[in-house]
Amino acid sequence: MTARGLLRQPLAATGLAVVATLVLLALAAPLLPLPDPDLAEPARRLQPPLSGFGALGTDQLGRDVLSRLVWGLRVSLAVGAAATLAATVVGSAIGLVAAFYGRWVDGVMMRAIDVLMAFPYLLLALAVVAALGPGLANAAIAIAVANVPFFARAVRGAALGVVGRDYVDAARIAGLSDRSILVTEILPNVLPLIVVTAATTIGWMILETAGLSFLGLGAQPPQSDLGSMLADGRKALTTAPHVAAAPGLAIFLLAVGLNLLGDGLRDLLDPRLDAGRGGAPAAATDVERGDAREAEQSGEGALVVAGLTTAFDTPSGRHAAVRDVSFALPRGGSLGIMGESGSGKSVTALSICRLAASPPGVIVDGVVSLAGEDVLAAPVERLREIRGARVAYVFQDPSTTLNPLMPVGRQIAEAVSAHGAARRAETVDEARRLIEAVELPDPDRIASAYPHELSGGQRQRVGIAMALAGEPDVLIADEPTTALDATTQATVLRLFSDLRSRLGASLVFVSHDVSVIEAMCERVAVMYAGEIVEEGPTAAVLSEPRHPYTARLVACTPRLGEPDRALDPIEGAPPPIDGRPKGCAFAPRCRLAIDPCRAAPIRLEPVADDRAARCIRWEDVSLGRA
C-alpha cells in the first residue's frame, strides 16, 4: 500500500528509484567484477575515465575509481544508516519518556537537550570526535549525538498530544504498566512522525558523516567513504577532476534521492504536511468536478443539493465517503439526516458549507445551491460571505469550537460584526440580544464568562447564538444535542424549533436519534454507507419504512411508553469507505437481500408520492419483515 502510494508521487518515485539503485549497487559490491579498491598501482595513476583503466579511471595512487566509489558508497550508506538508527532510537526514547512522565523528568531531560542544542551543530559533532578520536564509528556516534535533540523534541511534542488522551487514561485504569502504555498506546501514535523525521534526516546525516570524513575525522586510510574520496580528489582537482567528481556526484544523488523519498514518505504518512499545503486544512473543501455543472435553479428551494459526492484521499487511493446525495429544502422547511455512525451524515452537512477538511476531502461531483447560488463554484471570498449569512453551522461539541481564551460575549459580537453591524456599541447590543434569544439567564454574566465557566447546555446555546448572528436562511445542526443530558437536550431542541419558526430559517438536522428527528423534522433522509437509502416525510418514513435499513433502525430504537418492546439490533457493521460491496451496501446485513441486490448498485427510485427508496424489494419491507 505504502509502495503504491509512493509510486503515485512522481518526485518520490524518482527518489525511490535513485536510492534503490544506489543501495543495490552498494549491497552488490562483493559480487561485482570490480578490482580491489585499495590496490595501488602507481604506474597507472590519474588515468582519465574510459581510457582502458577502469570505467571511471584511476586516482593518485592508481586505484580504480569505480571500485572505490561502489565500496565507498557502501561504507557511507552503512555509517549514515547506523547514525540515523541510533539518533532515532535514543532521541525518540528521550522524547517519549519526557512526555510521559512530565514534571522533573521532563524538566531535566529537556534542559539537557537544550544544552546540546545550544552548541552549533557541526561544532558539537567536532567536539565529540575530538573527544573520542577520529574514525568512522566515532564520526557516526558524533553525528548521532548531534541529531538526538531533533528527534527528542519532535517526538516529545507529538507524544504530549497523546498522553492526555482518554484512551491513555483508559489503559491506565485497565491496569497496564507504564512500559506497556508507552509501547502499545503512545509509541504507535507517534511512529509515523518518527519514521518521517528519520526519512527526512537520513540524507542530511549521510552528508554530515561525509563532511567529517572530508575533514579527515571520519574514515581513516586505507578505509574510505565518499567523504574521504572527495577529500583525496580535491588535491588533484585541476589535473584530474574525475577523481573528485565521481564521489561528489554520488553524494549529490544520494542526498537528493533520500530527500525526495523522505518528503514522499512524509506526505504519505501525514497528508496535512504535504509540501506547499501547510499544516492547516484549506479555507474551503477542494472541488474537482469533472465537467462544470450548472447550478440547479429552484425558485422555492432555500437549499438544493444534487448528486453531491465527497471523497477522501487515503493511502489506498481516493474513496467516496458520500455519493450522489440529493435533496431539496424549501424555505422554512426542515430535513433530518439520520443514520448510524460513519454513514456520511457529517460529511454531507460539512460539504454543504464546504467545511470538510481538504486535504484529504475533495468534492468530486454535484451541486449545492443556496437560494440559486452554486456554493461549490463560489470563490473563497464569496464563501466567507455566504457562511453565516446564508448558511450557518452548529457543531456537535461547542467546547471544541469556542475559543477558550475569549469571553463568549466577545465571540458572539465578533460573529455579529463579521456580518456587517457597523459600530462596536451596536455589536455588543446585538450580542446581548442574541444571548437573550437563546434563553441564557443573566446575559451580562454569561457575556463576560469564558467557555470553561459555562455548562455544556449553556455552551451549546452560545454556539446557536453565534450561528444566528448572521441571520442565516439555512441552519445546519450536526448532532447539536448529543453531548447533552436528556433534560438539557429537550430544552435545546425546543429552542431550535422556536427560533426556526420565529426566524423562518430552514433547518438541516443531523442525528442518529430517531426520536429527535421525529420531533424536529418534517422530512427525513436516511443515510447508509454514504448514500441516501430512503427519503420522504418523517412520519410516513418512520411509520412505514420502504428500505430495510430504515425499518431496522426504527426497530432498534427504544420508544417512550413502550418499555416491553423487544429491541432488534442490526448485526454486523457498515462497510468502510474503501470496502463497499458492488451492489447494495446494506445487502450483507439485510434479511431480504436476494442475488440482484448484490449484483449491481441500486438506484434511489420513487416509491410513493413524495417518497423515494434505494431498494428493489421496497414493497416487501415492513417493520416486522425487514
Ligand X SMILES: Nc1ncnc2c1ncn2[C@@H]1O[C@H](COP(=O)(O)OP(=O)(O)OP(=O)(O)O)[C@@H](O)[C@H]1O
Applying CB under 6 A, the span of 93-101, 193-201, 236-244, 336-344 interacting with ligand X comes to: 336-344
* Cell numbers given for 248: 561528489
* Cell numbers given for 347: 460529511
Cβ distance to ligand X smaller for residue 59 or 534: 534
DSSP-derived secondary structure for 40-59: --GGGTTPPTTSSS-TT-B-
Applying CB under 6 A, the span of 121-129, 150-158, 340-348, 549-557 interacting with ligand X comes to: 340-348
Shortest separation between residue 435's beta carbon and ligand X, angstroms = 29
Shortest separation between residue 437's beta carbon and ligand X, angstroms = 28
Per the CB < 8 A criterion, the answer to whether 12 and 261 are in contact is yes
- Region 282-301 residues binding ligand X, contact defined as CB under 6 A: none
* Cell numbers given for 53: 583503466
Binding-site residue total for ligand X (CB under 6 A)? Answer: 15
Q: Rounded CA gap, 490 and 494, in Å?
A: 6
DSSP-derived secondary structure for 308-330: EEEEEEETTEEEEEEEEEEEEEE
Cβ distance to ligand X smaller for residue 319 or 384: 319
Per the CB < 8 A criterion, the answer to whether 623 and 553 are in contact is no
- 5 near ligand X, rule: CB under 6 A: no
Cβ distance to ligand X smaller for residue 312 or 395: 312
Cβ distance to ligand X smaller for residue 528 or 618: 528
Applying CB under 6 A, the span of 207-215, 233-241, 345-353, 595-603 interacting with ligand X comes to: 345-353
Cβ distance to ligand X smaller for residue 88 or 343: 343
Largest CA distance in the chain: 104
List the one residue from 24, 341, 564, 595 that touches ligand X (CB under 6 A). 341
List the one residue from 218, 264, 339, 409 that touches ligand X (CB under 6 A). 339
The residue type found at 323 is R
- Region 487-526 residues binding ligand X, contact defined as CB under 6 A: 512
Q: Rounded CA gap, 546 and 620, in Å?
A: 8
At 303, is the secondary structure helix, strand, or coil?
strand
Query: Which residues, other chains included, contact 449 with Cβ-Cβ below 8 Å and sequence gap of 6+?
Result: 407, 408, 409
* Cell numbers given for 463: 454556539
User: How many CB atoms are closer than 10 A to CB 432?
Assistant: 17
Applying CB under 6 A, the span of 96-104, 121-129, 186-194, 337-345 interacting with ligand X comes to: 337-345
The residue type found at 34 is L
Nearest residue to 312 via CA among 338, 332, 276, 342: 342
Buried b / exposed e across 340-350, counting CB within 10 Å, b at 16+? bebbbbbbbbb
List the one residue from 228, 285, 346, 460 that touches ligand X (CB under 6 A). 346
User: How many CB atoms are closer than 10 A to CB 50?
Assistant: 11
x-marked contacts with ligand X along 553-592 as a string, rule CB under 6 A: ------------------------x---------------
Q: Which residue has the cell 464546504?
A: 354
Per the CB < 8 A criterion, the answer to whether 202 and 84 are in contact is yes
Phi-psi label, residue 182: left if phi above 0, alpha if psi -120 to 50, beta otherwise:
alpha
Applying CB under 6 A, the span of 80-88, 128-136, 334-342, 515-523 interacting with ligand X comes to: 334-342
Shortest separation between residue 286's beta carbon and ligand X, angstroms = 13
Applying CB under 6 A, the span of 159-167, 190-198, 341-349, 580-588 interacting with ligand X comes to: 341-349
Cβ distance to ligand X smaller for residue 345 or 500: 345
Q: What are phi and psi of 500, to 5 degrees?
A: -60, -45
List the one residue from 347, 514, 551, 553 that touches ligand X (CB under 6 A). 347
Give the H or E element holding residue 548: helix 548-555
Nearest residue to 262 via CA among 6, 501, 49: 6
List the one residue from 360, 451, 472, 548 that touches ligand X (CB under 6 A). 360
x-marked contacts with ligand X along 453-492 as a string, rule CB under 6 A: ----------------------------------------
Cβ distance to ligand X smaller for residue 149 or 574: 574
Helix H segments across 52-186?
Answer: 65-101, 103-118, 121-132, 136-163, 166-173, 178-180
Shortest separation between residue 276's beta carbon and ligand X, angstroms = 19
| Burial of 277 per CB tally in 10 Å (0-12, 13-18, 19+) | middle
Shortest separation between residue 347's beta carbon and ligand X, angstroms = 3
Cβ distance to ligand X smaller for residue 240 or 353: 353
Applying CB under 6 A, the span of 49-57, 63-71, 224-232, 342-350 interacting with ligand X comes to: 342-350
Cβ distance to ligand X smaller for residue 434 or 604: 604
- Region 302-321 residues binding ligand X, contact defined as CB under 6 A: 312, 314, 321
Applying CB under 6 A, the span of 262-270, 282-290, 339-347, 456-464 interacting with ligand X comes to: 339-347
Per the CB < 8 A criterion, the answer to whether 336 and 513 are in contact is no
Binding residues (CB under 6 A) for ligand X: these are: 312, 314, 321, 339, 341-347, 357, 360, 512, 577
